[in-house]
Amino acid sequence: MERRRADVGLAERAFGAVGKDVTMSSLRTPDPNPGWLSEFALEETRSRVPILYVEAVPTRVDAAGQIEHVGVLLRGSAATGQITRTLVSGRVFHGESIRDALQRNIEKDLGPAAFPRLPVSPVPFTVAEYFPLPGVTPLHDPRQHAVALVYVVPVTGECNPRQDALELTWLTPKEALEPSLLADLEGGRGQLLKQALAWSGALV
């Protein structure tokens, strides 16, 4: 069930199309796919309230917990059509806990053989605010006003990004802080990468 939700969520984002049977599901009570929304309902909702996201900076850490590498995704942006770099990111569904949303979105972006060490505390290292208009803050998302709780998540196991994420690159903190790389991150997320490395003591 959890897996099915994840798959549907992925389909929704990747294809931007909705089958009729899924739309109908919102008529049933209780809704078997509570987090899932039709394209129309999602657009409408995006015009009404800030949409809650979770985001994660995947990391490889040494035995002492220090970051050795951070993972950056390379993928096609639904927003711009360009190939851009990004972080693990996804909506919190209706009825879903933040921990479950984090786990689901990490699995969605890094694959089922990645073993994330989810944080003990639900307190994020930063709260990212994306506005539809560029320039209001360093972060922006043309689709919506979004608020993301952002976490650093050490990951073991193998990371095999799924279909829509073309590549996962592991970078040293020094490489990750290269201005040209930071500038490549979608929606201003270079800022989040800098904040993640500052918080973990790896900012150089």
Min separation Cβ 83 and its own copies, Å: 25
Q: Rounded CA gap, 143 and 131, in Å? A: 9
H-helix or E-strand containing 51? strand 51-61
| Residue nearer to its own copies on the CB measure, 4 or 117 | 117
| Residue nearer to its own copies on the CB measure, 59 or 89 | 59
Q: Pairing mode, if any, of strands 67-76 and 114-116?
A: unpaired
Min separation Cβ 146 and its own copies, Å: 10
| Residue nearer to its own copies on the CB measure, 76 or 188 | 188
b/e map of 34-59 (b: 16 or more CB within 10 Å)? ebbbbeeebeeebeeeebbbbbbbbb
Helices (H) then strands (E): counts for the chain: 7, 8
State residue 114 phi and psi, 5-degree precision: -90, 130
Min separation Cβ 71 and its own copies, Å: 13
| Residue nearer to its own copies on the CB measure, 76 or 111 | 111
| Residue nearer to its own copies on the CB measure, 44 or 167 | 44
Name the residues that contact its own copies, by CB under 8 A.
31, 37, 41, 45, 47-52, 59, 61, 63-67, 91-100, 102-103, 117-127, 129, 131, 137-138, 145, 147, 149, 152, 154, 191, 194-195, 198-201, 203-204
With CA atoms as reference, report the closest residue to 87 among 128, 132, 143.
Answer: 128
Whether the Cβ atoms of residue 131 and residue 141 lie closer than 8 Å to each other: yes
Min separation Cβ 67 and its own copies, Å: 6
Min separation Cβ 46 and its own copies, Å: 9
